[in-house]
Structure 1
């Protein structure tokens, strides 16, 4: 099975052009918002740990706690293994998030191997970790592994933007959105990026995660 990725802006623009031929309603959206930034990251343990730390927190609060963990050199599996729960609590981690981070350590994910896995196998591997849901796994696929065909149907901003794009009377459920957008494949990552930007223009705020 071949794995398709979006490595750079030129490839993203080609994906968007193909998407517009599939779903012409993206043409005015692209004209309005331009070509989105890819916002790729290095992935790995640190990226997932940071995602866990930021769950259900404001951007500012998450950044503050993450800085404390970085300054205390508590962002590697070895450091987490050696740290006590009280040490992690001192740096801002709740009991629940300490459990999440320790689960990530215990699963000892081979992050290099993930690059060769099909999308659903990546999702299965990541969601086996306590504290990682499908949305977080999809963000990892899109931004860390650069996969080309990811539509985060559970994402609120994407659901709202898709409702506007498709002229729906109400916000679609994840299943409805998945069914309505199957034909956007294999360009659903480009669709996600455009929909986040479109939501941002509709609400006058940033919607892209991570």
Structure 2
């Protein structure tokens, strides 16, 4: 599988996208190349993705820091053996604890071929991940985008991407998940770079308007 490994790969994607899409060209001229946003590969990276769902970056980082301090090395076996009280003391909600336990069980039992995800076709890896209780399409897509470096994957249900597309394309309403997925097909085979560009543009506009995410 070809992967996005560094800023050079990001720039290759930007160069391609700005040639084929006027909206991407406008974003590139406004914001430049987006950040790599690389995350730790493997189980620890997926745990970070899960714990950060629907939280600000600062809140997610605080929870992860507590997990590292209280649990030590984050492995499937360590999470499976952790008590409910230990996990709640880290700031994890009940649903996220359930998801992490389901993930740990799927990995230790072998029902999720976690170590082979990077070598599997994108569609197969995505399908394998969302079979785990609590892991939905968004979690799988973000993990594959930032931890595996998959270049041609998108997260159409992400509200910031939908808002970014609305702003960049001058749409009257925010695209639905289905509409966003259809729009993103024009950005193949660099949809993951297009996503980074839309996130960057959305952040740029919100910062200009005085709305800064934390």
Give the TM-score taking structure 1 as reference length: 0.88
- Shift in Å at residue 166 of structure 1? 2.0
Classify 1:14/1:66 alpha carbon distance in 2 versus 1 (closer, same or farther; 3 Å). closer
Aligned-partner Cα distance in 2 for 1:25–1:83? 48
Give unmatched runs, 5+ long, in structure 1.
Answer: none
Contact 1:103/1:130 (CA < 8 Å) preserved in 2? Answer: yes
Equivalent residue, structure 1, for 2:80: 81
1:69 aligns with 2:72: no
Number of residues paired by the alignment? Answer: 206
Contact 1:126/1:137 (CA < 8 Å) preserved in 2? Answer: yes
Give the TM-score taking structure 2 as reference length: 0.87
Equivalent residue, structure 2, for 1:133: 136
Aligned-partner Cα distance in 1 for 2:71–2:36? 29
After alignment, is 181-190 or 140-149 more displaced?
181-190
Equivalent residue, structure 2, for 1:101: 100
Aligned-partner Cα distance in 1 for 2:33–2:184? 20
Match of 1:187 among 180, 190, 201: 190
Aligned-partner Cα distance in 2 for 1:13–1:59? 25
Equivalent residue, structure 1, for 2:205: 202
Partner SS for 1:25: helix
Partner SS for 2:22: coil
Classify 1:146/1:32 alpha carbon distance in 2 versus 1 (closer, same or farther; 3 Å). same
Match of 1:60 among 53, 58, 62: 58
Aligned-partner Cα distance in 1 for 2:56–2:16? 36
What is the RMSD of the two structures over their aligned residues, measured on CA atoms? 2.1
Partner SS for 1:7: coil
Give unmatched runs, 5+ long, in structure 2.
Answer: none
What per-residue deviation string (whole Å, max 9, x for no partner) do you get for residues 3-27 of structure 1? 3322221222122111122112222
1:154 aligns with 2:153: no
- Shift in Å at residue 206 of structure 1? 6.4
Equivalent residue, structure 1, for 2:174: 171
Aligned-partner Cα distance in 1 for 2:137–2:33? 26
- Shift in Å at residue 162 of structure 1? 0.9
